[in-house]
Structure 1
Amino acid sequence: MSSRIQQMPNQLINQIAAGEVVERPASVVKELLENSLDAGSTKIEIDIEQGGTKLIRIRDNGQGIHKEDLALALSRHATSKIRNLDDLEHIKSLGFRGEALPSIASISRMSITSRQVNSDGFKVQGQDEQSAEVSPAAHNFGTTIEVRDLFYNVPARRKFLRTEKTEFNHLEDVVKRIALSHFNVEVSLSHNQRVIKHWRAANDQKSMEQRIAEVCGNAFIEQSQYMCFEAANLKLHGWIALPSFSRSQADMQYFFVNGRIIRDKLVTHAVRQAYQDVLYHGRHPAYVLFLQLDPAMVDVNAHPTKHEVRFREGRLVHDFLFRGIHKALADVRPEAINSGEPDSVSSELNNVNSVMTQPLQTSLSGISNYGGPTRQNSMSLEVNEQIRAYANLSSSNMSGALPANDSQQNSDELNEIPPLGFAIAQLHGIYILSQTANGMVIVDMHAAHERITYERMKQDMQQGELASQPLLVPISMSLSEKEANLAEEQTGIFTELGFELDRSGPESLRIRQIPVVLARADAESLVRDVLSDLLSYGSSERIRNEINHVLGTMACHGSVRANRSLTIPEMNALLRDMETTERSGQCNHGRPTWTEFSLDAIDKWFMRGQ
């Protein structure tokens, strides 16, 4: 005989809820810190003992809890943050379900002491509203919550906890994320009566970067770029690491939506796409980014821990993130050493350059020989012409080289020195040595020229129509009706990139035309991948990435090779082009194209002044 249905006791209900909310001590800290931030706190103190299993104490200077609400705070789904459905659809607070406190109280010995302005302090203890005991207590403005003996009454859960050190590391990571998400809040963290971290409130960019450096390390700040991008009532700002600071794993990726740390595959995909042209294979970008948007555009109630969100207009958000980060990376160019602007060159320098620079078409005419033989049956005549055109790179687009005469290279005779300085020699037929205002720059000439050629090819292709060729025998492909409908709806995307598709049945398509540069690509797999991206993310860069891959190969074959002797004017022309070319800090494969050694660093090598 089956058991009868009956109502579960409140204590059991709360413990079941705790299984969703509280995984380990770090989960408790996250929930309590979010409550402190929602209360408007500007100072939060966190005291931990034995990795959080013995004690978690969080003290804040927020608005406090009213005496009459202290016992109610231990009741499930009791909250001051949501009143109606409209509030639920416009959530601005970090917490909103009212599950955290009763869930934590059901698996620990918890007490809450709080005091509001113009009021006395009170303390509540208990595991739920029915057992709560409220009594007067001395306390400053704000709230202190103590959680002792976590999981003391749920031994099965306690057995799954790791060592004290491991649990504290997880807990510390939570505090770091909170410190990054709210720069204006002072946060201190102590473990076993020892101060581990103390972040003072940061109210300007310099102090914010100091806090980021304390969390992510000085190297991140030194090799990152601040960005701010706004469009379509969305704002993205924060710090993105240069490709040279890529990581072997995705362990330094902090993304906040309206102040809430999230993990989202749409966001990860958009960022990855933005870095694709500059990141070495198998590496991961690092970033601390903040997305601000109307709360109605994001559903933060998609997961019990609130780590995952659901964007109501996923395609819009994906494209916005991609465009913003892509543009920010493109704008990273060699920093001006004297003038502050990479493109600014004095009128005197321009006058010198206009007289001394000779077209490179003659001097670099041999570059095309390095591209290797191109067979007509492997690539179209039009592509061959593109290779030849870009291989014979002329200096008509390269602003100015400095003459090799030492007297004319004297920096005192010039108003300003360009960011990458002036070439003085070529090393082993591979590297360009350049003297800058601050020291010395070394440039990988092939990698740099490869990026310049590649960016010009992309730009020219974007400005003109993408050449396509019809297939003698159309490619038939079978797919789901949902995918076929999507392909029909998104015809414009494929047409723009040189594809012509038509519907041949409820679950079939025909590919009739493809871009010339993708003549050797697997067109069917590419179309399937694009449709998969459109279904998952609302957009796709697969075709454009495939085109860029081909262009990158062409640029590689068409760029100046190692052991190619360059004159001083040719080397300076390459430096000037690097200063005006997007993403010139990396080659097409993500490797760095140049590095700088300051005069101070060089002096230290030789112990000058010691």
Structure 2
Amino acid sequence: MKIRRLSETMINQIAAGEVVERPASVVKELVENAVDAGATRIEIATAGGGKNLVRVSDNGAGMAADELELAVSRHCTSKLSDNIHDIQALGFRGEALPSIGSVSRLRLMSRTAQAAAGAEIVVQGGVLEGPRPAAAGTGTVVEVRDLFYATPARLKFLKSERAETTAITDMVRRIAIAFPQVRFTLSGSDRSLTEFAATGEGEAAIRARLEQVAGKEFAENTVPLDAVREGVRLTGFAGIPAYNRGNSLQQFVYVNHRPVRDKMLSGAIRAAYADVIARDRYGVVALFITLEAADVDVNVHPAKADVRFRDPGLVRGLVIGGIREALTRSGIRPASSGAAAMLQSFQTGSAPSSPLSAISSGAARRERAGGKSVYQPLCTPPSSGFAEGASVLPDISRPSANMQAAVEPQPPAADYPLGAARAQIHKNYIVAQTDDSLILVDQHAAHERLVYEALKQALHSRPVPSQILLIPEIVELPEDDVQRLLEQAENLRRFGLVLERFGVTAIAVRETPAMLGEIDACALVRDLADELAEHNTADGLKAMLDYVAATMACHGSVRSGRLLKVDEMNALLRQMEAVPDSGTCNHGRPTYIELKLADIERLFGRR
């Protein structure tokens, strides 16, 4: 077959297959262009999930009439100097507008502040019309209609209008977080008006923008982080472990203010939360990584969502360490969503209609339980019973000596975040009181976390005991993997795994961690080699040992159904306060819930 040169239109359509994946891709490219133009106000309007219409208007610098034709030509840009490694803008490839124009009906209208009038240009299926004069304000308006009309096969791969609308909204939200100084407005026939007002610059502005985008609950349950390592800086906010999600939609990651979806960074976030949330849950974060432009390659893919770091191990370690340090520094904190869920369960459940019916239903529950109350107080109530026909309510005007003795020895609630223990209910839940709240603690989950942290500290503060193999395991590996394992040999020895070179392409396993018992040494070494190749870290072995420690902690902690003395309950509370990660158990469940006094009063109609 004879080689021939492709037409410019076909070249643009091929490029559009990479740049314009769906309507959200169009919105991303156009909004990024507006941000690069210095806009402080960006308006996005869509229809039909973006398939019928996408219009992006901004008040940026605008373009002169003689630049419009260049703007819709491939590889024409004002954002890149002669140095490809010095990328300071969100866009730089010069492919977005010509790619969009090749598969849609594109109308571009712009005006600079110095120009007396604006100009417009139209591109339909790659065919150019104009430029011609147009009435326009300062800035740029880009209108995209009938997306993929020139390539109808692509329409079959789009999702429903609702799904495409959701993708557009998510894209705008992610860009808006990175630029709190810009006001974003999102509207259309398929959604109500969404507006993110400008909040300024700095940490407070980003927190305010996060509250706009992700909700007040997000801002309330995150802690600030700021870490620097070898010229790479990490700032932003990390959600406390008790506040987590079932998907990664509330993980916002930015590299030099560019929203990215990077597998390595996602893995680092998961590793940072590995010990404190369940495996099927996701931490909530907004991370901003800042480094020299030459140290990161954003030219991996035309969509620019993937990045490649010059030193990925450094960045990964910074993310993991930064998040863990921030969580440790913040101390123990409950998620505000826990109290909200608790309140909702009270309000929407089968609540009694009156206090009197509450007493009746309580008596009925005691009767069903065999006449015994399921409430376990700190002390035994007075043994003298009530006379027949007397009130079932105790006389609280003169508390008994026993009841006073149970309360007075407790430390002042103001001195401790988790307050003082007041009761144990259902032989598993500790009720504690602070100056302004009620604390409900799951004693088994809390003690499980404390035992686990103690085991980990003992495990990692000294070399892990190992067991010598009678016959060393020989593992055949590529030469590069052998070299990586040998470079980490000393670190692996600390965890009880002793490796030696056995020829050029093999490793001899002499000793394995005693905690792991009988294991498949070959599989372990191969997994470690793969991990070192991808992340330059041997965290896999550490994770295995931590899993064993977690199992031991689960079986060695205070069991549900055990009655605790007052001193034991308070000792447990004090230990929890000393361990930052004790807000969740080893399985990621919350260990305690805090209910503010104001919330309790609201339940009883006092507020």
TM-score, normalised to structure 2, is 0.83
Letter in 2 for 1:571: M
CA pair 513-166 structure 1, distance change in 2 beyond 3 A: closer
Which letter maps to 2:407? D
- 1:20 paired residue among 18, 21, 42: 18
Is the 8 Å Cα contact of residues 333 and 583 (structure 2) preserved in structure 1?
no
1:121-132 superposed matches below 5 A: 121-127=117-123, 131-132=128-129
1:424 to 419, 422, 425: 422
Match of residue 98, structure 2, among 102, 108, 115? 102
Residue aligning to 1:176: 173
Task: Find the counterpart in structure 1 of residue 546 from structure 2.
Answer: 548
Alignment deviations for residues 301-320 of structure 1 (CA, whole Å, 9 cap, x no partner)? 11121111111111111111
Query: What secondary structure is seen at the aligned counterpart in 2 of 1:306?
Result: coil
Percentage of pairs with the same residue: 41
Is the counterpart of residue 76 in structure 1 residue 74 in structure 2?
A: yes
Task: Please state how far the C-alpha of 1:443 moved relative to its aligned partner.
Answer: 1.1
1:509-543, Cα deviation, whole Å (9 max, x unpaired): 11112233233443332222111111111213111
Corresponding position of 1:448: 446
Where 2:173 maps in the other structure, the secondary structure is helix
Q: Could you tell me how far apart the structure 2 residues matched to 1:328 and 1:604 are?
A: 33
Aligned partner of 1:605 in structure 2 is: 603
Q: How does 1:333-352 map to 2 (within 5 A)?
A: 333-335=331-333
The offset of 1:332, in angstroms, is: 4.1
Going from structure 1 to structure 2, the CA distance change for 1:408 and 1:495 (only over 3 Å counts) comes to: closer
- 1:566 maps to 564
Is the CA contact (8 Å cut-off) linking 1:71 and 1:124 kept in structure 2? no
Amino acid at match of 1:97: R
Alpha-carbon distance, 1:335 to partner: 4.8
Alpha-carbon shift at residue 122 of structure 1 (Å):
2.5
Give the CA RMSD over aligned residues.
2.5
- Structure 2 residue 47 is the aligned partner of structure 1 residue 49: yes
Write out per-residue CA displacement over residues 171-202 of structure 1, whole angstroms, 9 at most, x where no aligned residue: 22221211122111100011039752100012
Separation of aligned partners in 2, 1:404 and 1:311 = 63
SS at match of 1:329: helix
- Distance across 2 between alignment mates of 1:130 and 1:220: 47
Q: Distance in 2 between matches of 1:194 and 1:541?
A: 45
Deviates more, 1:481-490 or 1:587-596: 481-490
Give secondary structure in 2 for the equivalent of 1:71: helix
Which residue of the partner structure matches residue 463 of structure 1?
461
CA distance in 2, matches of 1:125, 1:592: 58
Name the aligned partner's letter for residue 179 of structure 2: H
Is contact 2:332–2:580 with CA below 8 Å preserved after alignment?
no
Residue 143 of structure 1, aligned match among 119, 136, 140: 140
| TM alignment of 1:21-420, pairs within 5 A | 21-84=19-82, 86=83, 88-127=84-123, 131-192=128-189, 195-203=192-200, 205=203, 208-335=206-333, 405-409=406-410, 411=412, 416-420=414-418
Report the secondary structure of 1:449's partner residue: helix
- Residue 159 of structure 1, CA deviation: 4.2
Q: Deviations over 1:20-72 (max 9, x none)?
A: 21122221111111111111111101122332233222111111113321221
2: CA distance, partners of 1:38 / 1:254 = 20
| CA distance in 2: counterparts of 1:190 and 1:327, whole angstroms | 40
Per-residue CA deviation, residues 322-368 of structure 1 (Å, 9 max, x unaligned), is 111222233343359xxxxxxxxxxxxxxxxxxxxxxxxxxxxxxxx
Shift of 1:587: 1.4
Task: Quickly say closer, same or farther: Cα 1:175–1:315, change in 2 above 3 A.
Answer: same
Which one is further off, 267-276 or 143-152? Answer: 143-152
User: Structure 1: which 5+ residue stretches go unaligned?
Assistant: 337-402
Tell me the residue number matched to 2:394.
Answer: none
> 2 CA distance for matches of 1:67 and 1:91?
26
Q: What are the Cα deviations for residues 278-298 of structure 1, in whole angstroms up to 9, with x where unaligned?
A: 111322223222211111111
Tell me if structure 1 keeps the 8 A contact 2:105–2:144. yes
Hey, what's the Cα distance between the residues in 2 that align with 1:219 and 1:65?
41
Does the C-alpha gap of structure 1 residues 571 and 313 become closer, same or farther in structure 2, counting only changes over 3 Å?
Answer: same
- Checking the alignment, whether the CA contact within 8 Å between 1:483 and 1:531 is kept in structure 2 is yes
- SS at structure 1 position matched to 2:583: coil
Match for 1:536 among 517, 534, 537? 534
Q: What is the CA distance between 1:253 and its match in structure 2?
A: 2.1
Asked whether the equivalents of residues 432 and 443 of structure 1 are also in contact (C-alpha less than 8 Å), the reply is yes
Q: Give the gaps of 5 or more residues in structure 2.
A: 335-403
Q: CA deviation at 1:119?
A: 2.4
Using a 3 Å threshold, how does the CA distance of structure 1 residues 409 and 244 change in structure 2: closer, same or farther?
closer
Flag the 1:158–1:472 CA change in 2: closer, same or farther, 3 A.
closer
Q: Separation in 1 of the partners of 2:473 and 2:297?
A: 41
Residues in 1 aligned to 2:525 and 2:418: alpha-carbon distance in whole angstroms: 43
Is the Cα–Cα contact under 8 Å of residues 231 and 320 in structure 1 kept in the other structure? Answer: yes
For residue 283 of structure 2, give the secondary structure of its aligned residue in structure 1: coil
SS in 2 for 1:470: strand
The more displaced of 498-507 and 265-274 is: 498-507
Secondary structure of the equivalent of 2:278?
A: coil
Distance in 2, matches of 1:455 and 1:555, equals: 9
Q: Deviations over 1:224-244 (max 9, x none)?
A: 333222222122222322333
**Residue by residue, what CA displacement relative to the aligned partner does 1:100-146 show, whole Å, maximum 9, x if unpaired?**
11111222222222222322333231439994522333322221112
Contact 2:118 2:137 in 1 (8 A): no
Distance 1:295 1:404, change over 3 A: farther
1:586-608: CA deviation from partner (whole Å, max 9, x where unpaired): 11222211111111222233333
Contact (CA 8 Å) 1:179, 1:187: kept in 2 or not? yes
Question: Equivalents in 2 of 1:486, 1:406: separation in Å?
Answer: 61
Q: What are the equivalent positions in structure 2 for 1:450-529 lying under 5 Å apart?
A: 450-529=448-527
CA–CA distance in 1 between the matches of 2:517 and 2:159? 55
Q: CA deviation at 1:205?
A: 4.8
Check conservation: 2:462, 2:494, Cα contact below 8 A. Answer: no
- With over 3 angstroms needed to count, the CA separation of the structure-2 counterparts of 1:404 and 1:446, relative to structure 1, is farther
In 1, the alpha carbon distance for the partners of 2:190 and 2:263 equals 39
Contact persistence 2:297–2:307 (CA under 8 A)? yes
**Separation (CA, whole Å) in 2 of partners of 1:178 and 1:571:** 48
CA–CA distance in structure 2, aligned partners of residues 407 and 318 of structure 1: 50
Cα deviations by residue, 1:447-476 (Å, 9 ceiling, x for unpaired) = 212222222232233333333343333222
2:9 to 4, 8, 11: 11
Match of 1:439 among 437, 448, 465: 437
Distance 1:576 1:52 in 2: 55
Q: How many residues align?
A: 536
Three-state SS of the structure 2 residue aligned to 1:230 is: strand
Report if the CA contact (8 A) 1:111-1:146 is conserved: yes
Q: Which amino acid aligns with 1:418?
A: Y
- C-alpha deviations, 1:551-610, integer Å up to 9, x for none? 22232333222233322122112111111113010112222111111112222333335x
SS at match of 2:74: coil
1:577: which partner in 2?
Answer: 575
TM-score by length of 1: 0.82
The amino acid across from 1:554 in the alignment is: M
Paired residues of 2:463 and 2:493 also in contact (CA < 8 A): no
Question: How far is the alpha carbon of 1:245 from its aligned partner?
Answer: 2.9
- Once the two structures are overlaid, the 10-residue window that deviates more, 575-584 or 102-111, is 102-111
Give a deviation string over 1:365-409, Cα, whole Å, max 9, x none.
Answer: xxxxxxxxxxxxxxxxxxxxxxxxxxxxxxxxxxxxxx9553454
Q: Compared with structure 1, are the counterparts of its residues 404 and 543 closer, same or farther at alpha carbon in structure 2 (3 Å cutoff)?
A: farther
Query: Does the C-alpha gap of structure 1 residues 261 and 317 become closer, same or farther in structure 2, counting only changes over 3 Å?
Result: same
Deviations 1:401-435 (A, max 9, x none): xx955345485xx8x33110011122222121111
Partner letter of residue 196 of structure 1?
L
